[in-house]
């Protein structure tokens, strides 16, 4: 009989933010696969849990997946945890989970904290629809291309950002999201938690006057479409996407959805305006 893989959410800062079920599962499994065993040991020691652990992080993910799968196929139960939050969400875990699905291992979610959901809940921005991006590409050109595409998105946008890059990213965003409402949350649930609200330029100025440290969650309102856009503006957006490698039909569809226009009419118009 095969074992069970538990995907266990752990606190993102405050050690009290863990469920009774998560603690029970961590105490019952045969082994815990942790992103960083040293960091996870602090949590386990705090709650008096003593279990064998195996480290599971970026460079070791593929190799350790095979080892963990052998244990699961041998009938052992495994709890997968990350340093903070939910495994697989901008954290290691997806490789093991995919492999477990392929080999028909039972996978059980033990839900709990997630930094982006906690941040969204206090943002005051629309929550009915949102797009979670996570960390943007590290290379500037690729990152700017992603941001250009996201500038058309009408849903609330959610990003993770590291302290060494947050000012640079905010500076780049000012060009595309200058007037939008945004919220930047630092060290959520931790002692130095801080919430900055305003426009992107305003938040950048506030941040430059404070201590930049810890992890950040940035939430930006989606593109508004209250005003009427000229044909020239819309065609310009299609032309930009086509230059970036999008096919005409795909570009027209993307822009039509962003502006609430007819895909067919916009496609036909592009044939007249763009060679």
Q: Is the pTM of this model over 0.75?
A: yes
pLDDT at residue 230, as a whole number:
72
In angstroms, the CA 268 to CA 265 distance is 5
CA distance 247 to 240: 11
> Which domain CATH number covers 28?
3.40.1010.10
> For residue 226, what pLDDT band results from cuts at 50, 70 and 90?
low
Note whether residue 25 is domain-resident.
yes
Average pLDDT over residues 58-69: 84
pLDDT digits (tens, 9 = 90+) for 110-150: 999 999 999 999 999 999 999 999 999 999 999 999 998 89
Residues in the chain: 275
Structural domain includes residue 138: yes
Per the structure, the complete domain to which residue 239 belongs is given by 231-273
Do 78 and 125 belong to one domain? no
Q: Is 37 found in the same domain as 103?
A: yes
Give per-residue pLDDT as tens, 197-222: 999 999 999 999 888 888 999 999 99
145 and 189 both lie in a single domain: yes
Shared-domain flag, residues 30 and 103: yes
The three state secondary structure string of the chain is CCCEEEEECECCCCCCCCCHHHHHHHHHCCEEEECCHHHHHHHHHHCCCCCCEEECCHHHHHHHHHHHHHHHHCCCCEEEECCCECCCCCCCCHHHHHHHHHCCCEEEEECCCCHHHHHHHHHCCCCCCEEEEEECCCCHHHHHHHHHHHCCCCCEEEEEECCCCHHHHHHHHHHHCCCCEEEEEECCCCCCCEEEEEEHHHHHHHHHCCCCCCCEEEEECCCCCCCCCCHHHHHHHHHHHHHCCCCHHHHHHHHHHHHCCCHHHHHHHHHHHCC
pLDDT of residue 58: 67
- The pLDDT assigned to 108 comes to 98
* 226 lies in some domain: no
Dump pLDDT digits (tens) for 260-272: 788 888 888 888 8
Quick check: is 268 in a domain? yes
Give the model's confidence band at 229: pLDDT under 50 very low, under 70 low, under 90 confident, else very high: low
Q: How do residues 234-269 score in pLDDT, each as one tens digit?
A: 888 888 888 888 899 888 888 888 777 888 888 888
Confidence of residue 189 (pLDDT cuts 50, 70, 90): very high
Q: Is residue 59 domain-resident?
A: yes
Last residue of a domain, one of 73, 90, 113: 113
Tally of domains within the chain: 3
Computed over every residue of the chain, the mean pLDDT equals: 91
Distance CA 144, CA 98 (A): 30
Cα gap 55→267, rounded to integer Å: 52
Could you read off the pLDDT of 9-62 as tens digits, one per residue? 999 999 999 999 999 999 999 999 999 999 999 999 999 999 999 998 767 787
pLDDT-derived band at 275 (thresholds 50, 70, 90) equals confident
Residues 182 and 212 in one domain: yes
Q: Angle 244-246-248 (CA atoms, 0-180°, nearest 5)?
A: 125
The distance of Cα 183 from the centroid of its chain, to the nearest Å, equals 15
pLDDT at 201: 92
């Amino acid at each position: 009989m095969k074992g069970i893989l538990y995907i266990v959410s752990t606190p993102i800062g405050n050690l009290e933010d863990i469920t009774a079920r998560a603690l029970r599962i961590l105490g019952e499994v045969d082994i815990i696969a942790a992103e960083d065993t040293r960091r996870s040991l602090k949590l386990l020691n705090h709650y008096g849990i003593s279990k064998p652990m195996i480290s599971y992080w970026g460079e070791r993910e593929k190799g350790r997946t095979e080892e963990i799968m052998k244990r699961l196929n041998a009938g052992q139960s495994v709890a997968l945890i990350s340093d903070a939050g939910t495994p697989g969400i901008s954290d290691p875990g997806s490789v093991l989970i995919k492999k477990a699905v392929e080999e028909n291992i039972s996978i059980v979610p033990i839900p709990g904290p997630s930094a982006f959901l906690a941040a969204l809940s206090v943002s005051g921005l629309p929550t009915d629809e949102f797009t979670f991006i996570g960390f943007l590409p590290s290379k500037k050109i690729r990152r700017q291309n992603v941001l250009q595409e996201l500038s058309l998105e009408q849903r609330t946008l959610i990003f993770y950002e590291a302290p060494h890059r947050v000012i640079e990213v905010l500076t780049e965003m000012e060009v595309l999201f200058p007037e939008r409402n945004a919220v930047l949350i630092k060290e959520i649930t931790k002692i130095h938690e801080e919430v900055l609200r305003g426009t992107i330029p305003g938040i950048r100025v506030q941040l430059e006057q404070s201590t930049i440290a810890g992890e950040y969650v940035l939430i930006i309102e989606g593109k508004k479409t209250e005003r009427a856009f000229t044909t020239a503006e819309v065609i310009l957006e299609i032309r930009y996407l086509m230059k970036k490698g999008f096919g005409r039909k795909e570009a027209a569809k993307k822009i039509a959805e962003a502006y609430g226009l007819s895909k067919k009419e916009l496609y036909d118009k592009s044939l007249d305006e763009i060679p």
